[in-house]
Amino acid sequence: MSLRLIAIETGNTRTRIGRFDGDALEAMESHANEHLEAIATTVADWWSEIARGDADRVMVSASVNEPIAARLRGMIDDRTGAEVYVIGEDLPIPIGESLDPETITGQDRLLAAAAAWDTLKQACIVIDAGTAVTVDFVDGEGTFHGGAIAPGARMQLQALHEHTAALPLLEFARPDATEAFGRNTAQAMLHGVYDGIRGLVWRLVERYSESYGAFPMVVATGGDAELLFGDDELVNRIVPELTLRGIAVAARHAMADDGGDGGPLRRDHA
């Protein structure tokens, strides 16, 4: 029986929601966290839409911004009366970890890694380019080894503006590709951020590959992934919805772990 799933990913600044029918992503939206009412309304509409036939339906939430996520879950409960299951509390992320003891890793990183491994079933490097830029490694056995965390593009531009006397606040954009040099302040800042992130990723991929002894598949996700890596020969795939797919993988594994009758997910039968 196909599972109908609404996945909710609350990040530092934005929330993404996805509607799945089995493994197929039917719809996806992304909203700034200031627009929780709109997000909750869309989720409630989707919840009604997927109540058809004999399909089972669940809602699952993951977050790196729990205060916002908790508010959103409350709004959804008010509109639907349905329980929103929480990654890390109601169901685990299905990926092994090789990290220092007591390390707490962001759910977004682990979910993206779980989705990449579930699809590729081979060693891979996962880049998430959003508020922060993370570059993580998953080995050929499906074990997450961690990686690197750096400020994202907008965070860098904001810091340049706030911690200097003369640099403007810019929107992130691709710098002028016809010029190797930033011939004005704005272009110099954009070159520094854009090429800096790309250079960072290239160096980390080289180091991970040297350590592993092979060159893994490289997958990118996050709001800035296409802008940063759309023309980058280093990146094999760009999957904007990778973390949402990780939530779907976690839900599927939770069902399978209990013989397919829902596991820790006490599903709502439409």
- Any idea which residues carry the catalytic annotation? 108
Q: Rg for the chain (alpha carbons), in Å?
A: 20
| Among 114, 115, 93, residue whose Cα is nearest residue 104 | 93
The total of other beta-carbon atoms located within 10 Å of residue 51's CB is 14
What are the residues facing 59 on neighbouring strands?
Answer: 6, 84
Contacts of 17 (CB under 8 A, 6+ apart): 6, 7, 8, 9, 28, 29, 30, 31, 39, 42, 43, 46, 244
| Among 115, 116, 106, residue whose Cα is nearest residue 146 | 106
Counting beta carbons within 10 angstroms of the beta carbon of residue 265, is it exposed (0 to 12), middle (13 to 18) or buried (19 or more)?
A: buried
| Among 20, 69, 16, 14, residue whose Cα is nearest residue 251 | 20
AA identity, residue 73? R
**Longest Cα–Cα distance in the chain:** 63
Do 83 and 28 contact (CB within 8 A), yes or no? Answer: no
The H or E element containing residue 59 is strand 56-63
